[in-house]
Structure 1
Amino acid sequence: MKLLPKNLALGLLCLGSALALADGPASAAGQAPLAAAAVADATRPDADKARDADRKPADMLAFAKIQPGQVVVDYFAGRGYFTRLFSTAVGPQGAVYAVAPQVWLDRLKGKPLPPPVSAEPGRGNVHEVVGAASLNVPAKADVVWTSQNYHDIRIWNGAAGTAELNKAVYAALKPGGYYIVLDHAAQPGLDEAGMAKLHRIDEALVKQEVLAAGFVLDAESQALRNPKDDRSAQVFETGIRAHTDQFILRFRKP
């Protein structure tokens, strides 16, 4: 067998790696009809629909490769924006686990929680659970999703907290399953104090921590990038809220 010249072989390897991580329209085309149908679900609350222009849910579901019959974990689901979309997309043969982190419940100190999505009509495939050292999900998951909250775990519990989370996600996933992390982008090297002040996190830090848990980086999406955001403002400030520069990373369990 004839070998390729060393520089050509290296170039092809780099090109292949770049293509694998560039998850563009072509790779998501097969997911588009299902994602669009989930977004068009008439039972979604108006409050959810009002956020669609900023959150681009069809792109998010396609990137996460959500399929009917899957088990999906929505970690730190909040008011259930993505939980409802996942519920529709996986259908009655699938299951969605909306996991509330114990650290978040502890911080609420008895304040009212958002109403459970599982109580809404047609959401019988949704299950609310509390996760601490494990995600507390009874079935192996195809996808674990967390959006705009990884930085909170890092702020509240430090590197040990996100290490515990990533270990729990790895254990909860099937081999080949996906871990999607979406969060507000920070300037490179943002320190702990900066994270707590701005509610942002350095994308490189997230990659470092998740890869250390045994995952491989499968793809990145540019769908929520905003070059006008210089990443210096706190994410809740008027003018930048809902318009932050956000990274979306898809990791895979080998």
Structure 2
Amino acid sequence: MSIIIRKKTMVLSLLFSCLTSFPSLASVNDNVEALTLFANSEVRSSENRQRNLYRHPAETLDFFGVQPQMSVLEVWPGHGWYTEILAPYLKDNGKLTLAQFRHNDGKFKNERSIFWARVSQHLAQRIANEASFFGEPTLIELDPPTFYPPQHEQFDMVLTFRNAHIWNDDGNLSTTLETLFQALKPGGVLGMVEHRAARLSDISSSAVDGYLDEAYVIKVAESAGFTLVATSELNANLKDTKNYPKGVYALPPTLAMGQDNKAAYLAIGESDRMTLKFVKPTR
């Protein structure tokens, strides 16, 4: 670890010592500042840090109400873009659990499943290799709609970033949200960010590949038992016209169209996204 990273780690440790010693200091500004330090950490790749411009991680996590003493479940963390922020933020006083893709037992035939199982394995190895930064998150698996092992009222907060459209495409959005509902403690928060489809009217929308209608997502979550308590435009992008040949995947970071209109897609930036905060009602 470089001298710069060690110095930053010392600064972050001092910051959290202050926050835990004086809870009244954990105001909105303090929380955003702490999250921003991790979002901008040089432990993260320059590519990941550049995406802060579009994903607004500190402000988004603060909007959901994350606090350093919470028990948090991050669903399908992928390459660990948010894990790089959540793990060091929670490691001293809270608990992070990662619901990764199912482990490949050698029986997978689907190329997507094989790829994402490999991604999960890579993230798990990185966490083990960089324990001083990540701490020791608990690793479980989610094969929608089922957790392995099962989770029942374990978490103060469940976070899912751009996963709902995959569950919906596979026909299990509703049942997966029901599983997340069961995993939360009463009063717990579900924070969701998802690609937002074009709204045509109060009763219709236009959803191309990767996008979901916001009203539809809210309705499905409410049917699973959640109560919508707040929405945010933090991750809105008015430049996103949502009418590309390969849907949301034409935009960065995927850039599925290759060199075809690449400059135009880069100028648009990442997708327009809904940011939704739900709670599990108390009994």
TM-score bin (small chain): 0.7 to 0.9
The alpha carbon displacement at 1:104 in A equals 10
2:240 to 211, 229, 248: 229
Instruction: Name the CA distance, whole Å, in 2 between partners of 1:68 and 1:185.
Output: 29
Q: 1:105-139: CA deviations, max 9, x gaps? A: 95435343241243223223322221234434477
Structure 1 residue aligned with 2:33: 33
For residue 158 of structure 2, give the secondary structure of its aligned residue in structure 1.
Answer: strand
The one-letter code sitting in structure 1 at the alignment partner of 2:184 is L
2:119 corresponds to: 113
Q: 1:200-247: per-residue Cα shift (whole Å, max 9, x none)?
A: 111111000001111110111111111122222211214446421111
Seen in structure 2, the aligned counterparts of structure 1 residues 213 and 109 have a Cα distance that, compared at 3 Å, is closer
Counterpart of 1:248 in structure 2 is 275
Q: Which moved more, 1:72-81 or 1:236-245?
A: 236-245
Which is worse superposed, 88-97 or 53-62? 88-97
Residues 143 and 244 of structure 1, relative CA distance in 2, 3 Å threshold: same
Q: How does 1:2-81 map to 2 (within 5 A)?
A: 28-29=28-29, 31-81=31-81
- Over 3 Å counting, the alpha-carbon distance change for 1:176 and 1:34 in structure 2 is farther
Matched with 2:164 is 150
Residues 1:215 and 2:226 are matched in the alignment: yes
In the TM superposition, what whole-angstrom CA distance separates every residue of 1:70-121 from its partner, at most 9, and x where no partner exists? 1111111110011121112213232212212449995435343241243223
RMSD between superposed Cα atoms in Å: 2.6
Q: What SS class does the counterpart of residue 226 from structure 1 fall into?
A: coil
Candidates 204, 209, 224, aligned match of 2:215: 204
Q: CA deviation at 1:29?
A: 4.0
Structure 2 distance, partners of 1:162, 1:104, is 22
- CA 1:103 to 1:124, structure 2 compared with 1: closer, same or farther past 3 Å? closer
- The question of 1:181 aligning with 2:192 is answered yes
Check if 1:171 corresponds to 2:171. Answer: no
SS of the residue aligned with 1:113? helix
Q: Could you list the per-position Cα deviations for residues 18-71 of structure 1 after superposition, in whole angstroms to 9, with x for gaps in the alignment? A: xxxxxxxxx944632332233243433333212211211111121121111211
Asked whether the equivalents of residues 44 and 84 of structure 1 are also in contact (C-alpha less than 8 Å), the reply is: yes
Q: Give structure 1 stretches of 5+ with no counterpart.
A: 1-26
Within 1, Cα distance between the matches of 2:168 and 2:104? 12
The whole-number CA distance in structure 1 between the counterparts of 2:103 and 2:162 is 16
In 2, distance between residues paired with 1:248 and 1:146?
A: 10
Structure 2: how far apart are the matches of 1:103 and 1:163?
23
Partners of 1:69 and 1:28 lie apart in 2 by 15
Distance 1:236 1:100 in 2: 22
Runs of 4+ in 1 over 6 A off after TM superposition: none
Aligned partner letter, 1:155: D
Match of 2:22 in 1: none
Over the matched positions of the two proteins, sequence identity in percent amounts to: 23
Figure out how many residues of one structure are paired with residues of the other and give that number: 221
Instruction: Name whichever of 74-83 and 222-231 sits farther off.
Output: 222-231
Query: Scaled by the length of structure 1, what TM-score is found?
Result: 0.77
The amino acid across from 1:110 in the alignment is I
Q: Tell me if the contact between 2:222 and 2:228 (Cα under 8 Å) persists in the aligned partners.
A: yes
Whether 1:140 aligns to 2:161 is no
* Whole-Å separation in 1 of the counterparts to 2:65 and 2:275: 13
Instruction: Give the Cα separation in 1 of the matches to 2:28 and 2:217.
Output: 24
- Distance in 2, matches of 1:208 and 1:240, equals 31
Gaps of at least 5 residues in structure 2 are: 1-26, 251-261
